[in-house]
């Protein structure tokens, strides 16, 4: 039988059988149509399939279609619907790609106001390596309110009392107008902050008057002149709005650190152009680096300038940790100038974005744990931790996510995709196509209509309130009175060898002032990461210090960025 098929295949490729079948179908239906005057639609159908097969064998773009005319399209169809089939029928409840069904369901339930309790026990494997839990107390506390706050910019003219859970940076342009309105309306009702993203403050951010954190990126959108340079006049116009509570200078973001961006001119609508201060229909460029400063010292002076121009509002910066010596260079500049940011937001490499090269999302930047711990430890070792607040972002959607981040040193947490789920995002991962099925990440007016602002604003509010209520219950169970009391001594982690250790014992936390003591020769380096990279840092440049650049490789790999296992 195999020999017969092989012989037939040599005479007529069997992979053409589907196309041949279409030819026979066309001949048969045409015959019946001529004889019985019925089935004209079948004739047209088979004729279309025959022409499709002819086009397939003549085209030169896809080899599969040239070899498998007509039936080869089935492959592309199945590939097209694969994400939906996988999401709805194949993936397990705890398989995170990037967010598991259990994580998404938790957000949906809280956003809708549905019960978020689970029956029958945990679905997690509590004996698996990496499993974590928070130790509880036999004397739980009682906390009156879940509205936990942290003061940012104490001693400034306009300090801000921030919620410990806020909306992370997402620009208008990446999100639809209705999504921005719903997020800001929810923030207004719940009294929490809404980060604008680097796309600046659009008219849609102003409709409901929710608190804003104005993020300023390398494109200086909303505060640029005609040549794309920073403009004090434009900055003052936006920064002194009562709605703007804090100013955040974006150095890099977790999903694509060190990578600029271009919004094609075709997507620069009048609304986007007005918000960003760019011409309509012209490519909108976000450079990979800032033009307003070149050195760590200049950066701190720029932050001080932004704070002064804003009228004394808390001003800081956001970054994803990359070269450790560059972060240390900023710290050395703080010590040299005495100029401090009011806050630092650490973005983890696991953070999301509308679009980024795969190599950047998968392999560039430090994850949140390593980045956050390094920033916290450095500031603590320099005796600056009490004067600088730390925010963080990176796949935070549940109360335990917040607890764990605070145990590593965060004062507050931001979430982007969590609030997108609250708006109705179904993780279709078509954010970059303009065809978002729920109207969250599209500029298509018809698709946006699916997102009803008043309804979605309530969902944003309920997700925020439900998460903080769960956070309150965790804090009470641990016998504490505020999330800021949570430390790494409260979190337990099972290691790969089935040992269990407190995070405080598994990760390195350095003592206040210990880094200063080491730099002055009064003590040992608190960790190898400081011993290797601190001498490489210089306050007057982001480049490696000349004294060590010749002795150390350009990209040293001997010591990891993270300050982990002791």
Q: Give the angle subtended at the CA of 372 by the CAs of 367 and 374, to the nearest 5°.
A: 100
pTM of the entire predicted model: 0.88
Other beta carbons less than 10 A from residue 531's beta carbon: 13
How confident is the model at residue 554, as a pLDDT? 47
How confident is the model at residue 11, as a pLDDT? 67
Nearest C-alpha neighbor of 74 from the set 22, 29, 18, 21: 18
Nearest C-alpha neighbor of 424 from the set 435, 409, 440, 400: 440
Distances (CA, A) of 296 to 52, 247, 318, 562: 61, 18, 14, 22
How confident is the model at residue 564, as a pLDDT? 39
Which stretches of the chain drop beneath a pLDDT of 70?
Answer: 5, 8, 11-12, 96, 547-566
Cα(445)–Cα(70) distance, integer angstroms: 35
The label of the residue with tokens 């099925």 reads: 437
How confident is the model at residue 275, as a pLDDT? 92
DSSP string of 308-368? HHTTS--EEEEE---SHHHHHHHHHHHHHH----SEEEEEPTT---SS--HHHHHHSS--H
- Write out 11-33 in H/E/C secondary structure: HCCHHHHHHHHHHHHHHHHHHHH
Q: Give the angle subtended at the CA of 192 by the CAs of 400 and 166, to the nearest 5°.
A: 40
266 DSSP assignment: G
């Amino acid at each position: 039988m195999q020999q017969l098929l092989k012989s037939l295949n040599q005479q007529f490729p069997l992979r053409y059988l589907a196309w041949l079948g279409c030819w026979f179908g066309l001949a048969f239906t045409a015959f019946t149509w001529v004889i019985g005057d019925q089935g004209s639609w079948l004739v047209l159908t088979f004729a279309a399939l025959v022409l499709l097969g002819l086009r397939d064998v003549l085209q030169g773009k896809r080899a599969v279609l040239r070899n498998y005319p007509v039936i080869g399209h089935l492959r592309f169809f199945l590939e097209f619907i694969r994400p939906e089939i996988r999401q709805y029928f194949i993936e397990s409840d705890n398989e995170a790609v990037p967010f598991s069904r259990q994580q998404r369901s938790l957000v949906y339930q809280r956003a809708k106001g549905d019960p978020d309790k689970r029956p029958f026990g945990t679905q997690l494997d509590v004996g698996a390596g990496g499993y974590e839990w928070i130790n509880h107390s036999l004397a739980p506390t009682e906390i009156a309110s879940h509205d936990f706050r942290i003061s940012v910019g104490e001693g400034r003219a306009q300090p801000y009392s921030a919620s410990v859970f806020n909306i992370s940076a997402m620009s208008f342009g990446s999100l639809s107008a209705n999504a921005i309105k719903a997020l800001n309306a929810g923030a207004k009702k719940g009294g929490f902050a809404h980060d604008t993203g680097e796309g600046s403050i659009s008219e849609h951010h102003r409709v409901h008057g929710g608190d804003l954190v104005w993020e300023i990126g390398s494109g200086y959108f909303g505060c640029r002149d005609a040549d794309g340079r920073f403009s004090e006049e434009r900055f003052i116009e936006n920064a002194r709005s009562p709605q703007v509570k804090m100013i955040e200078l974006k150095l890099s973001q977790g999903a694509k650190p060190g990578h600029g961006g271009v919004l094609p001119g075709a997507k620069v609508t009048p609304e986007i152009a007005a918000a960003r201060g760019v011409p309509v229909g012209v490519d909108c460029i976000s450079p990979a680096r800032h033009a307003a400063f070149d050195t760590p010292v200049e950066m701190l002076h720029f932050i001080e300038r932004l704070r002064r121009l804003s009228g004394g509002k808390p001003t800081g910066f956001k970054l994803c940790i990359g070269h450790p010596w560059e972060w240390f260079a900023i710290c050395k500049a703080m010590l040299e100038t005495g100029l401090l940011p009011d806050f630092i937001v650490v973005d983890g490499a696991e953070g999301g974005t509308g679009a980024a090269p795969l190599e950047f999302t998968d392999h560039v930047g430090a994850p949140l744990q390593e980045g956050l711990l390094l920033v916290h430890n450095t500031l603590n070792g320099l005796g600056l931790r009490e004067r600088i607040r730390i925010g963080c972002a990176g796949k935070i959607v549940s109360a335990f996510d917040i607890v764990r981040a605070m145990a590593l040193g965060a004062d507050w947490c931001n979430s982007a995709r969590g609030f997108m789920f609250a708006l109705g995002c179904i993780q279709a991962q078509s954010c970059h196509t303009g065809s978002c099925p729920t109207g969250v990440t599209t500029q298509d007016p018809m698709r946006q209509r699916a997102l009803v602002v008043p309804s979605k604003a309530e969902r944003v509010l309920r997700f925020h309130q439900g998460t903080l209520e769960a956070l309150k219950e965790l804090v009470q169970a641990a016998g504490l009175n505020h999330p800021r009391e949570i430390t790494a001594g409260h979190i337990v982690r099972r290691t790969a060898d089935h040992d269990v250790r407190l995070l405080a014992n598994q990760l390195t936390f350095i003592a206040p002032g210990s880094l200063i003591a080491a730099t002055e020769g009064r003590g040992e380096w608190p960790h190898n990461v400081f011993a290797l990279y601190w001498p490489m840092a210089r306050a007057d440049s982001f480049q490696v210090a000349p004294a060590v650049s010749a002795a150390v490789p350009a990209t040293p790999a001997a010591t990891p960025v993270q300050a982990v296992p002791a």
